[in-house]
Every structure is written in C-alpha cells, then in structure tokens.
Amino acid sequence: MDTSRLRPTSPLVRQAAACLDAGEADHADVLLDLHLSRHPEDSAGLILFGLTRVALGRPLEAEQPLRRALALDPIDDPFHARAVCALVDVLKAQGRMAEVSEVLERAGDVAPMNAVFPRMLGAHYRALGQVGAAITAARRAVAVESADGENWRGLAATLLGGAPGEALEALERAKTCGDDGADWWNIRGVALAALGEGEAAREAFKNAILRDGAAPMAWTNLGNLEIRAARSADALERAVEAYGQAIRRAPDSFEAHNNLAQALRDLGRRDEALVHAERAASLRPHDVTVLNTQANILRGLRRVDEAVAILERALACDGRSAETHSNLGLALLAAQDRQRAEEHFRKAAALAPDCVDIIVNLACFLIHINAGKEVLGVLEPALARFPGDVGLLATLGLHYFQENAYEDCATVFETVLAKKPDHVEARASLGVVRWSQGRLVESLALAQSIREDFPEDIRTLFLLGCVHSDLMENASALEVFDLAVEKGGERVPPFHYSNCCFSFHYVEAMEKDDLFARHRRWDALYGAGATELSDVTHHNTRDPERRLRIGYVSPDFRRHSVAYFFLPLVGAHDRAAVEVTCYSLSTLTDQMTDLIREGCDRWRDITTLPAEKAAERVREDEIDILVDLSGHTANNGLSIFALKPAPVQVTYLGYPNTTGLSAIDYRLTDGFADPLGVDEDPASETLWRLPRSFLLFDEVPGLPDPAPPPVLSRGTITFGSFNNMAKVNRGCVAVWKRILDAVPGSRLLLKAKGFRDPATAKVLIERLIDWGVDPEQVSYAPYAKNLMEHVAVYAEVDIALDTFPYNGTTTTFEALHMGVPVIGLRGHRHSGRVGASILGNLGLADRLLGEDVDDMVAKAVALAGDLEGLMRMRAGLRERLRASPLQDGPGFVADLEGAYRAMWRRWCAGPPTFHRQPKNGMWAVEEMEDAIEPVLG
C-alpha cells in the first residue's frame, strides 16, 4: 500500500496501514478507531478505515468514511485511487449502478491524466449495456495512455457489441504494446464469433486457455460459441461442459453460472438450471439479467408465484427494464392474470419499441388471446422497420396458422428457412402446416430433419406420430408417441397427450386394457393427479324436478362433423325442462356457429380463457350438468372438466371412447355401440345407454337425390370408402381385397384428404399395393372443394365399405343419405361398433353388418350379386333413414333429457360433491418462447 501521502504526524495511521497489509484487519480497526476519535476529518485515516471495514466483511460500513475522505481530499494518487475502487465495489454490491457512474466520472475529473478511471468507467458502462458511454470512456483511457495495451484491450472489449471489426483493430494496437495474453485471445475470440468466423473464434478461445488454464471467461465464451454455432442437443451439452470447466476454475464466475443455467434450461434440465441461476443471483443479487433467468426457470418448473415475486423484485431494481416487464407478462399469463400480463407486455413494447424479442412476446400474447387484428397491427410496423427479421416472420407465420391461412403461413416459414436454414422452430412449424394441409411427405421430411439434431424433442415426436398415423404407419406412430411420452414425462403438454390418445384408436392391435390405461395416464398427469378436492361444495339447488341448466363444451361449434350432429339437438331441447348454455372453444366461426348460437339460451365464448377461469364461468352460470362434446380431439376442454365445475359431468358425441377422467361421471352411448354385458369397454365413466340411438342425424338441405347404382351403366360393381386413411390398416385392406377378388371386375374407389397431394397419394398407393391391392382394382377421387362436390362422388359408388377397428360416422351417414349402402363389421370396442349402432337403428344389420370378417365378405359379395335388391335398397335408404330413430329429433331429445333427468335425480339423492382446484401451478400456460407452438389436432 502506497502511504507516501499520509501525514507524518499520524503514526497510528501508518501502523494501521502496516497491520492491514499484514492481514491483521482487527488490529488495524482498533488503531483507526482511536485515531479518528482524535482526527475525524483525516482523509487518510478515513480511507484506511473504509478499507479495513471491507477487509472485515462489513462493506456497508465502508461507504460513509470513503465518501467523506474523497470529499475532503480528492487528491490524484494511487492511495486515493484505491479508495475510489473500494467505494465502487461497495456500491456495485448493492446494485447502486447510477452512483457507481457518478463516482467514476468525478474521479476522472479529479485525475484527468489517470487512465485507470476511464478504463473502469468503460467496463462499468459496458456491463450496464450503455455502449455509447462505454466507448467514449474507453477512448478517453486510450487518449490518456496510448502505450498501455490494457487500455486498447478495454476499448476492444467495449467495441465488441457493435463493431467487432474495429475491436480486432484495437486488439492489434494492444498487441504492439505487448498485450497478447489470455484476455487478449479471449476478446479476439468473441470478436471473431460476432463476425461469423466460428472456427477461428474457437481457436482463439483455445489459445486463451493454453495461456491461462484457469481462464474462466475463455471457457464461458467457448460455451457461448457452441450454443451459437448450432442450437442442437449435442451443442448444448458441449456448452454445458465448457461452462462447467469455467466454474471449476472460478466458482464465483457470474457469467458461467448464469449461462450454464440457461443452457441447462434449454436442455430441459430445469432443476439443475435453477441451482446455477440461484448461485448467479447470489453473486449479483441486484442484477436484473440473472433475476430474469431465475424467474424464467421457475416459470418452466410451474413455480409461477415465485417467478412473479422475483420479477417484481427485478422491477424494483430497474423499473424500466423491458425484458423484465415482458417476462413478468409471461409469468402473469401463466398465473392466469391476463389483465396484468397484457399491461406488462404493452409496457415492455413501449420501453423497447425496437427490441424484436419484446415485440414478438406481445404479438404472441395477442395471438394467444385470439386478437388477430391487433397482431397485424403490432407485427406489420415492426416488419417495416426490420424487414426480413426471422423472429417477426416466424410470429407472423404463427398468426396465419391461427387463422387457418395455411398457404400464407407456409410461405412465411419458407422465407424464414431461406434466411436461416437451421431455424428449428420454423422447420417444426412448417412441418405442422404441411401436415394440416395433408402434404404428409413434406411434413415427414421436415420432422425427420429436426429429429436428427434433436432426437428426443417432444413436439417433433408428436408431429412424427401424427404423420405416421395419417400415412397408415400405425406401428411407427405408436412407437414415436410412446417415446414422446416416455421422454417428456410431466413436461408433455395436455393437448399433445390428448392427440396421442386419439391416435391410439387407429392402431389395429391395441388391446382395450392398454388403450384404457393410456387414457387414465392423462388423468394422472393433468386431471386427478394435478388437481385436488377443494372445500367448496356444489351449491346447486337439490330439487330433482326443477328446470335443469345444461352446459355443452366444444371447440367444434363451426363447420365440423360434431356440429352437424349437435345442431338438431340444441334446437330441439324442451325449454320448459332445460336451459342450454354453449361454451365455445373455437377460434373459428362461420354460419354453423351462428345457427348453434341462435339455438341455445346462452352463448359463452371461452376460447381464450385458461381452464381455471373457464371453470369459474361455469360455476357462475350454475350449470347442473356439463357435457363434453370433444373428448381428446383437438382443442378440447378436458382441463376444465378436471376441475369439476358442475355437480354432474358427462362426455358425449365427439370421441369414441372413455376420456379417462375420474371427474367425468357418465358417458352417453347406446346398446348397439356398447352392448350391456357383452365385451364391454373399460371406462372411467359410468356408461349411460340411451334406449335407441346415441346419434341424431340432420340432413343438409339441398343435396341431390340418390343416383341409380353406377353398375347399371358400367356393368361392374364399384365399392368405395371415403374415410380418413388413418383408419385404413393392413387387416382392413385384406378384407377389402377378398371382397374385390370375390366380385369379378369390381373396383374400389377411395377418397380422402391425403390424395389431394400427389407425393402423399403416391406413398399411400404404394402402401396399399404392398398390402396386396391390385393397382388395376383401385382408383382415387380428387379432393372436393365443397360439400356439394363431395357428396356428388357418391353417385360413382355402388356399395360403401366401412373401416375397422375404427368405423366411420359422418361418412357412413353421408353414404346412406346419398343412397349408398354401407357394409360394416361389428367390432370389439365402441369405435368399432358405431357402424353397428347406425345399421342396427336402421334395421339393416342383418343385411349389411358382418359379425366377423368372413361374414362381412359374404354380405358384401351377396349384395353385389343381387342387383335388384341393391337397386331397391338404394332407392329406399334416404326415406328409411328419415323414418328411423337416427333422424327422430323429438324422440331423441326426449330420450336424452330423460337421461339427464335421471342423472340429476341420482345426484340430488346422493352425498355432497366438491369442486376441484389445481395443485401448485398446474395450469401454467406453456412457454411462448420462440413464438412457435402450433397445436396438433
């Protein structure tokens, strides 16, 4: 310690300085107490007293004496410079960055020829992200002492963010001054990385490590380079190793802990990530960046309340941090506080109007709440300022996907990939778009390319499963679905697992018990396992004969097969007996939506509400019986039902199996689809069999009359199937081939979404040929643009063949209405007995329903060989359908309301029932990072 300027008349101060240099801070403290009691205005004593308090681990007590000393005697010497440095450290530890700036600026004014202060000031402003001020200070240091390589190196470090080329030039100047150690090589690596010279940067970091094996920043930057070079799992693992090396060499390295936390988070190792984020936060408790990192990890762990608290603390440190406002928006969204979330998203955008990430988060929030027009209002001006920005383009693609504008969406993602071929989210999203369009070969290629880099990425595995399923590759679909569930565990989003449950029905060899167990797993993850009984009972008035409030929940109150069956029901309800409320989860509306809205008593759009808020709405409406119409199909509302907002809950119509939810009491069916005591499906619900049909068909007005059988003009029988090709499997095709072979000259006409794309059609046709179909026996109808074109194709079919073990429903009704008899097979589970229900209610099971595959073949061959009988059946099918229970609206509604009344009476006579509530953070909204998460459905 330089004590040359200490007063010669202060031996106690000199002795204290010697003690402090010798590590005897306690002894120095005693001496300085004595000295300052006599000379309270002695600047040297005050400086030493402050340094002693720092050495004793009591830095807060150092601030006042250090400030007093510098105010009394602002002398330019190394001793006073040390006081400045100590005061800066004390202020930094408290996060008082503005005061740090003031102290260093004043020190520079007092000692204009001392390069230490502008060099420190440059590093300080650089850490704060104030690049302009940092460069000014660094250039001042160089101007004061141009022969000092450290000053040039400091300038290079400051120029890295915006001018990496100039940074390299500054490094060359530093090298001429003899400065080319580990720090020099480290800064050079960062500059080269910024210029896109990854290999040269890697060599620079390795040189830094060779010159100083304990160079933690070089290891940290090597980790950063790995992440930047390729955002793959392998690269992330290499980054984790590099950050670990940095921490082993510098256990208190803030940057290494902070960056390691982010890398582990990206790998899905959130518990480990949190450990390092907390360590980084302990090193810099007022650092807003690490507080954001810590909060984002907590949000990913569904510890949402803690995340919100940390972000509010971050705002207390810096209320103008746009990043913090945006992340707080995400956390509040996860906490279901949408109003406050929106406030913070908008505040973030106002604070940082040119920050693309902030704009993306606001746009994603608006997409999330279905505010389509506002989305474009946010994105279009941003794209005008930043044309071609991939983040903005990707978000625009997500908006188009939400609007079902698939071609516009695909164009946007293709533009992103042209600019950045390794943009994983854009590849994934384009894969989902192509899957949605039926362009399955393209979707498959995209998903497989992602899997090469991220073999266990959950989203990609689910997309692959969907594509394999639609390509009739059910074994492959099951394999990747199971892998996705295994690897994802509790991180699998509920809608992904629902999609999985739905697709399992296509697997020919899936046993009932296995299928049931998979549905029960959904309940264990997101239903009963994620909720708990509250202490609030259902307060509905227990009057068994009063007017009932019935609520129907569906994402399909639009032009959708479910809506066609629901529309005649909702309008035919006896309003004296029931009040009907429809809860819509659909982002799309059309004329069908308007018809359903007109048919119900109350309409509730809950599309953008989180499950908990939607359940609150149901409770406020005092619904007695809540009916699910979608099961595990796309955009379903099962998370609402898991909270048990109504005393009686029922699943019906839209799903061919149990939901697996213990919170749903009944599943509506009939004795044909689920015969009592005969090969019953295991179910979490009690089966409630309607006395006749569980389906009510309402014909679309204006369709053409049934055509004569085409065999009259062609001379040969044409069989047909217009079902989803995912329902077609090897066993099904084998039976169809037997029928074709047994009816000379017959042909099979297939019509499905997959055939509209030539590449997909080629794969499907090749698979049918592999399964033994003679290509000369099969033809394919082009994709129809509208319903009239679609039903007109039935005029080319003599006899329709149903799929199994997953029957058609809408296609069967369409065929029958157009006069085309449907040959089916009685299956062994509900999805395979829907045909039995339809044909049984028509009174045609004896002629059209096979009891086994041999009987199915025999019935198809017999009908094909009875031309007069076929003509009579076709001529009378439409009227037979109209006269059956399948189109008896009043009778069906009476049966249904009778079932509701019986369920209600049973509840009125039973014990109290309770609402359920989510366990800690279960209903957290999935993260919106990267702006891409289209829903598979």
**Do 752 and 822 reside in the same domain of the chain?**
yes
Check which CATH number belongs to the domain holding 561 and give it. Answer: 3.40.50.11380
Instruction: Tell whether 450 is covered by a domain.
Output: yes
**pLDDT tier for residue 552 given thresholds of 50, 70 and 90:** very high
More confidently predicted of 468 and 336: 468
The arithmetic mean of pLDDT across residues 758-763, rounded, is: 95
**Do 503 and 597 reside in the same domain of the chain?**
no
Instruction: Express each pLDDT in 13-57 by its tens digit.
Output: 888 888 888 888 888 888 888 888 888 888 888 888 888 888 888
Q: Is 696 exposed, middle or buried (0-12, 13-18, 19+ CB in 10 A)?
A: buried
Instruction: Express each pLDDT in 489-546 by its tens digit.
Output: 877 889 889 999 999 999 988 999 999 999 999 999 999 999 999 999 999 999 999 9
Assign residue 357 a region (left: φ > 0; alpha: ψ between -120 and 50; beta: otherwise).
alpha
Q: How far apart are CA 87 and CA 47, in angstroms?
A: 10
**pLDDT tier for residue 480 given thresholds of 50, 70 and 90:** very high
Q: Among 904, 937, 897, which Cα is nearest to 696's?
A: 897
**Do 524 and 536 reside in the same domain of the chain?**
no
Where helices occur in 793-919 by DSSP H, the ranges are 810-817, 834-842, 845-848, 853-865, 867-883, 889-908
Question: What is the per-residue pLDDT for 76?
Answer: 67
Question: What is the per-residue pLDDT for 627?
Answer: 99
More confidently predicted of 354 and 585: 585
**Do 659 and 724 reside in the same domain of the chain?**
no
Note down the domain range covering 668.
531-696+891-918
Instruction: Express each pLDDT in 659-718 by its tens digit.
Output: 999 999 999 999 999 999 888 889 999 999 999 999 999 999 999 999 999 999 999 999
* Neighbouring C-beta atoms of residue 885, cutoff 10 Å: 20
Name the 3-class secondary structure at 326: helix
Instruction: Express each pLDDT in 870-919 by its tens digit.
Output: 999 999 999 999 999 999 999 999 999 999 999 999 999 999 999 999 88
Instruction: Express each pLDDT in 377-408 by its tens digit.
Output: 999 999 999 998 988 999 999 999 988 899 99
Question: What is the per-residue pLDDT for 121?
Answer: 82
| Structural contact between residues 577 and 649, judged by C-beta atoms closer than 8 angstroms | no
Question: What is the per-residue pLDDT for 465?
Answer: 95
Query: In the predicted model, is pLDDT for residue 1 greater than 60?
Result: no
Question: What is the per-residue pLDDT for 88?
Answer: 87
The arithmetic mean of pLDDT across residues 640-661, rounded, is: 98
DSSP string, 904-926: HHHHHTS---EEEEE-TTTTPPP
Domain total for the chain? 4
Q: What number of helices (H) and strands (E) belong to the chain?
A: 44, 15
Name the 3-class secondary structure at 530: coil
**Positive/negative CA dihedral, 784, 789, 790, 792:** negative
The residue type found at 140 is R
The residue type found at 733 is V
Assign residue 772 a region (left: φ > 0; alpha: ψ between -120 and 50; beta: otherwise).
left
Instruction: Tell whether 2 is covered by a domain.
Output: no
Question: What is the per-residue pLDDT for 41?
Answer: 86
Q: Among 620, 588, 619, 623, which Cα is nearest to 605's?
A: 588
More confidently predicted of 517 and 8: 517
Structure token pair of residue 677: 């005591």
Check which CATH number belongs to the domain holding 802 and give it. Answer: 3.40.50.2000
DSSP letter at 535 equals: E
Question: What is the per-residue pLDDT for 7?
Answer: 45
Domain final position from 171, 205, 227: 227
**Do 722 and 870 reside in the same domain of the chain?**
yes
**pLDDT tier for residue 423 given thresholds of 50, 70 and 90:** confident
Query: In the predicted model, is pLDDT for residue 69 greater than 90?
Result: no
Question: What is the per-residue pLDDT for 920?
Answer: 59
Instruction: Tell whether 562 is covered by a domain.
Output: yes
Residues 6+ apart with CB under 8 A from 595: 567
686-690/666-670 β-pairing: parallel
Where helices occur in 573-682 by DSSP H, the ranges are 591-599, 611-620, 638-641
**pLDDT tier for residue 73 given thresholds of 50, 70 and 90:** confident
| Structural contact between residues 393 and 414, judged by C-beta atoms closer than 8 angstroms | no
Instruction: Tell whether 110 is covered by a domain.
Output: yes
**Do 479 and 624 reside in the same domain of the chain?**
no
Question: What is the per-residue pLDDT for 614?
Answer: 94
Instruction: Tell whether 437 is covered by a domain.
Output: yes
More confidently predicted of 138 and 258: 258
More confidently predicted of 272 and 169: 272
**Do 870 and 727 reside in the same domain of the chain?**
yes
Structure token pair of residue 798: 């003599």
Instruction: Express each pLDDT in 183-225 by its tens digit.
Output: 888 889 888 888 888 888 888 888 888 887 667 888 888 888 8
Q: How far apart are CA 336 and CA 352, in angstroms?
A: 25
Check which CATH number belongs to the domain holding 128 and give it. Answer: 1.25.40.10
Question: What is the per-residue pLDDT for 512?
Answer: 93
Instruction: Tell whether 770 is covered by a domain.
Output: yes
Instruction: Express each pLDDT in 816-845 by its tens digit.
Output: 999 999 999 999 999 999 999 999 999 999
The arithmetic mean of pLDDT across residues 104-132, rounded, is: 80
Instruction: Tell whether 310 is covered by a domain.
Output: no
Question: What is the per-residue pLDDT for 231?
Answer: 60
Average pLDDT, the chain: 90
Lowest-pLDDT range of 302-306, 463-467, 720-724: 302-306
**Do 103 and 200 reside in the same domain of the chain?**
yes
| Structural contact between residues 558 and 589, judged by C-beta atoms closer than 8 angstroms | yes
Instruction: Tell whether 265 is covered by a domain.
Output: no
**Do 502 and 559 reside in the same domain of the chain?**
no
Structure token pair of residue 584: 């819509």
| Structural contact between residues 563 and 592, judged by C-beta atoms closer than 8 angstroms | yes
Lowest-pLDDT range of 296-310, 728-742, 809-823, 848-862: 296-310
More confidently predicted of 422 and 51: 51
Q: How far apart are CA 39 and CA 28, in angstroms?
A: 16
Question: What is the per-residue pLDDT for 922?
Answer: 44
Instruction: Express each pLDDT in 569-623 by its tens digit.
Output: 998 999 999 999 999 999 888 999 999 999 999 999 999 888 998 999 999 999 9
Question: What is the per-residue pLDDT for 213?
Answer: 64
Query: In the predicted model, is pLDDT for residue 226 greater than 80?
Result: yes
Q: Among 185, 110, 108, which Cα is nearest to 153's?
A: 185
**Do 501 and 537 reside in the same domain of the chain?**
no
Q: How far apart are CA 367 and CA 403, in angstroms?
A: 10
**Do 537 and 511 reside in the same domain of the chain?**
no
* Neighbouring C-beta atoms of residue 704, cutoff 10 Å: 11
**Do 83 and 217 reside in the same domain of the chain?**
yes
**pLDDT tier for residue 343 given thresholds of 50, 70 and 90:** very high
Domain final position from 227, 253, 281: 227
Residues in the chain: 937
Domain final position from 176, 194, 227: 227
Residues 6+ apart with CB under 8 A from 324: 288, 291, 292, 311, 314, 315, 318
Instruction: Express each pLDDT in 773-796 by its tens digit.
Output: 999 999 999 888 899 999 999 999
**Phi, psi (degrees; rounded to nearest 5) at 4:** -65, -25
